[in-house]
């Protein structure tokens, strides 16, 4: 699952405050029961709330993340995982910046610091391993988004300084809010990652009978509408097979968990 949580507003009188949305987020995650969730925008206290609520789901959960401004500060690209099924072998964070390891830095022209959290997981059931990468590209600068796409490919392909190489041959799953629709042509983010980079968009790769309706994922708490676009994606490396994919329009007692719909995919990772 990829899920932009929308950063928490703790003012109980605010529209869509975290106090109002928290039960809906917990209900969504219980309903979908994913093994892995790449989240965006979560704040440290908010992520601890999500983790606490997941402990009542009947499964053991944990998460890995770092604030994009360093330590517990700022938004996280936190990766939640079912600890009964997966365990982390290694993990790292880098920033979409000229120096990817300059904490809290941003690409020139970007609206905010943007970063990537990646985790190498081992599947407790089969023993196979894979990489999960999670990001949130910039909402202001196209140049910064393109730089982010290229850095992501560089990390997956490696080795190329300053990013350390991944273990060759292990599958990769990339989750994120890319802040741009998957428009073909023009050399955009989706084209760089999919056409040039060889990744597969799990949503379009799912069999026709097991693929949900293609519609917008950012809805600003308004729910379904005729406008908008699919800016939240789950992309996979060659050899990963998508068996189903959909955009979840889940609500809890009439409330949307976030201003984004999460995207859910079932994947066959081959060796994992």
Backbone dihedral angles phi then psi of residue 268, each to the nearest 5 degrees: -105, 110
DSSP-derived secondary structure for 150-217? HHHHHHHH--BTTBPPPPTT--EEEEEE-SS----STT-HHIIIIIIT--EEHHHHS-GGGB-----S
Confirm or reject CATH 3.60.10.10 for domain 2-268, answering yes or no: yes
Per-residue pLDDT at 221:
95
Domain ranges of the chain: 2-268
Pairing assessment for the beta strands 79-82 and 36-40 based on DSSP bridges: antiparallel
Backbone dihedral angles phi then psi of residue 163, each to the nearest 5 degrees: -80, 135
Low pLDDT (below 70) residues in the chain: 159-161, 186, 226-227, 271-272
Instruction: Say if residue 227 is preceded by a cis peptide, omega within 30 of 0.
Output: no
Residues whose CB falls within 8 Å of the CB of residue 48, separated by 6 or more in sequence, listed in order = none
Residue with tokens 């081992």: 122
Reported as a single tens digit per residue, the pLDDT across 26-71 is 999 999 999 999 999 999 999 999 999 999 998 999 999 999 999 9
Q: How far apart are the first and last CA of the chain?
A: 17
Question: In terms of DSSP H, where are the helices of 55-162?
Answer: 142-157
Q: Which helix (H) or strand (E) holds 54?
A: helix 44-54
Per-residue pLDDT at 3:
99
Reported as a single tens digit per residue, the pLDDT across 235-260 is 999 999 999 999 999 999 999 999 99
Per-residue pLDDT at 159:
61
Backbone dihedral angles phi then psi of residue 102, each to the nearest 5 degrees: -85, 100
The two structure tokens encoding residue 61: 């959960």
Single pTM value for the model: 0.96
Backbone dihedral angles phi then psi of residue 246, each to the nearest 5 degrees: -165, 165
């Amino acid at each position: 699952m990829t899920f932009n949580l929308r950063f928490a507003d703790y003012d109980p009188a605010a529209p869509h405050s975290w106090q109002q949305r928290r039960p809906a987020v917990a209900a969504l995650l219980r309903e979908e029961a994913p093994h892995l969730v790449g989240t965006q925008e979560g704040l440290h206290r908010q992520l601890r709330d999500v983790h606490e609520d997941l402990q009542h789901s009947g499964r053991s959960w944990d998460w890995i993340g770092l604030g994009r401004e360093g330590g517990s500060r700022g938004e996280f690209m936190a990766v939640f995982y079912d600890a009964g099924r997966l365990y982390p072998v290694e993990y790292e964070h880098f920033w979409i910046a000229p120096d990817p390891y300059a904490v809290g830095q941003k690409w020139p022209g970007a609206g905010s610091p943007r970063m990537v959290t990646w985790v190498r997981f081992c599947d407790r059931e089969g023993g196979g391993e894979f990489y999960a990468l999670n990001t949130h590209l910039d909402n202001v600068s196209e140049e910064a988004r393109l730089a982010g796409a290229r850095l992501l490919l560089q990390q997956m392909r490696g080795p190329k300084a300053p990013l350390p190489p991944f273990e060759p041959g292990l599958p990769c799953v990339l989750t994120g809010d890319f802040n741009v629709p998957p428009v073909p042509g023009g050399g955009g983010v989706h084209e760089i990652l999919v056409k040039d980079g060889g990744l597969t968009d799990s949503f379009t790769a799912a069999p026709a009978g097991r693929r949900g309706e293609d519609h917008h994922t950012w809805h600003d708490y308004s729910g379904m509408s005729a406008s908008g676009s699919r800016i939240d994606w789950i992309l996979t490396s060659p050899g990963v097979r998508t068996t189903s994919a959909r955009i979840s329009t889940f609500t809890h007692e009439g409330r949307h968990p976030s201003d984004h719909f999460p995207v859910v995919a079932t994947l066959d990772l081959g060796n994992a």
